[in-house]
Amino acid sequence: MVVEMKNTYFSAQTQEIVHDFSMGFEEGKTTALVGPSGSGKSTVLKLAAGVIVPSAGTVFFRDKDIWRMNREQNLAFRKESAMVFQDSALWANQSLYQIMELPMKLHFPNMGKKERDMRMNELVEQVGYRRQLTLRPAQLSMGEQKLIAFARAMLCNPSVLFLDEWTESLDDASAQRLIDLVQERQSLHNTIIFVSHDFRAIKKLADYIIMIIEGSLSQVFTREQIMEDADLAQHLQKGISL
Ligand SMILES: Nc1ncnc2c1ncn2[C@@H]1O[C@H](COP(=O)(O)OP(=O)(O)OP(=O)(O)O)[C@@H](O)[C@H]1O
Ligand SMILES: [Mg+2]
């Protein structure tokens, strides 16, 4: 397993948001997390990505407890994985150029500016962002922020992707482009965990579909089950449990 969540819980104040969640994510497979708004999908994804600390239970990345890694192991884990946050999470006080430059400087300290710029421009073009990189996030639409967040996530060529509603607030053509880019990552055998309400993305990309209801794993479906059962597909599309 690339990522393994074992009996994880997450509570904030007195509210339990994730309840006894266990799931393994296999190398090279794509898993979609679906469920109603507020059911805990983003929280589960952040736990899997090692962004938030579980209140109880353990999250393993390649058999190592994420929260017990030493500095070197942690850096290697951060380099190998990347996340697109639901709200894009771009630093407000930096230009897009600075935002994208930072992960490359951190993870590839020997890479020259010329190569960094080339890689950045290539990705910006691939995602279809057409404005300047001197702008700051507040000057961008939500959709444009998503494009930059996606480009930033791909800069260090990760092999494990955590994507939270990465096609939300995009026009159809842009959403399709970002779905195609994830499909390219699949052909490179990346391990992908994503949250989406976009049924197109789920149908096209997901090997497994996990339904989360009220912070718990409710059901797991395979792509085949979804493709063969129109009723099930319709229920999933509505985010409703069976
Ligand atoms: N740090 C936190 N402090 C307090 N409440 C939180 C925190 N994180 C999440 N929650 C609450 O937990 C619930 C689940 O949140 P989460 O963002 O995981 O849902 P979601 O399934 O991703 O929803 P959506 O589809 O709207 O994105 C929500 O009610 C949210 O307000
Ligand atoms: Mg969410």
pLDDT tens across 54-64, in order? 999 999 999 99
Q: Which atom of ligand 1 is nearest to the CA of 212?
A: 21
- Ligand 1: residue of 42, 169, 216 to mutate (most ligand atoms within 8 A of CB) is 42
- CA–CA distances in Å: residue 64 to residues 73, 77, 123, 158, 188: 9, 10, 31, 18, 24
- Label residue 126 by pLDDT band (50, 70, 90): very high
Q: Which helix (H) or strand (E) holds 199?
A: helix 199-205
Alpha-carbon distance values, 1 to 5, 27, 147, 176, 232 (Å)? 10, 6, 29, 29, 28
Task: Evaluate if residue 237 carries a pLDDT over 90.
Answer: no
Per-residue tokens: 130: 């057409």
| pLDDT, mean over the chain | 94
pLDDT above 70: residue 164 = yes
Would the pLDDT of 127 be above 70?
yes
DSSP 7-73: EEEEEETTEEEEEEEEEEE-TT-EEEEE-STTSSHHHHHHHHTTSS--SEEEEEETTEEGGG--HHH
DSSP H/E element including 117: helix 113-127
Q: φ and ψ at 220, to 5 degrees?
A: -120, 130
Residue showing tokens 């930096």: 94
How many Cβ atoms from other residues are within 10 Å of residue 32's Cβ? 27
Task: Judge contact between 241 and 211, C-beta under 8 A.
Answer: yes
Interval 187-204 mean pLDDT: 93
Residue 212 confidence (pLDDT) above 80: yes
The pTM of this model reads 0.95
Exposed (0-12), middle (13-18) or buried (19+): which is 44, by Cβ within 10 Å? buried
Predicted pLDDT of residue 184? 96
- Residue recorded with tokens 């771009």: 90
Query: What mean pLDDT is predicted for residues 160-164?
Result: 98
Calculate mean pLDDT across residues 10-29: 96
For residue 40, the CA-to-ligand 1 centroid distance in Å is 5
Q: Which residues contact 1 (CB under 8 A, 6 or more apart)?
A: 24, 25, 26, 27, 60, 63
Domain boundaries, the chain: 3-89+158-237
What share of the chain in percent tops pLDDT 90?
Answer: 86
pLDDT number for residue 242: 52
Residue 235: pLDDT over 70: yes
Q: What is the pLDDT of residue 241?
A: 55
- Assign 163 a pLDDT band (cuts: 50, 70, 90): very high
194 pLDDT higher than 80: yes
What is the third-level CATH fold of 3-89+158-237? Rossmann fold (3.40.50)
Which ligand is closest in space to the CA of residue 212? 1
User: Ligand 1 atom closest to Cα of 45?
Assistant: 18
Look-up of token digits 């898993």: 31
Does 79 have pLDDT greater than 90?
yes
Q: Residues with Cβ within 6 A of ligand 1? A: 12, 15, 17, 35, 37-43, 86
pLDDT (average), residues 109-113? 95
pLDDT at site 229: 84
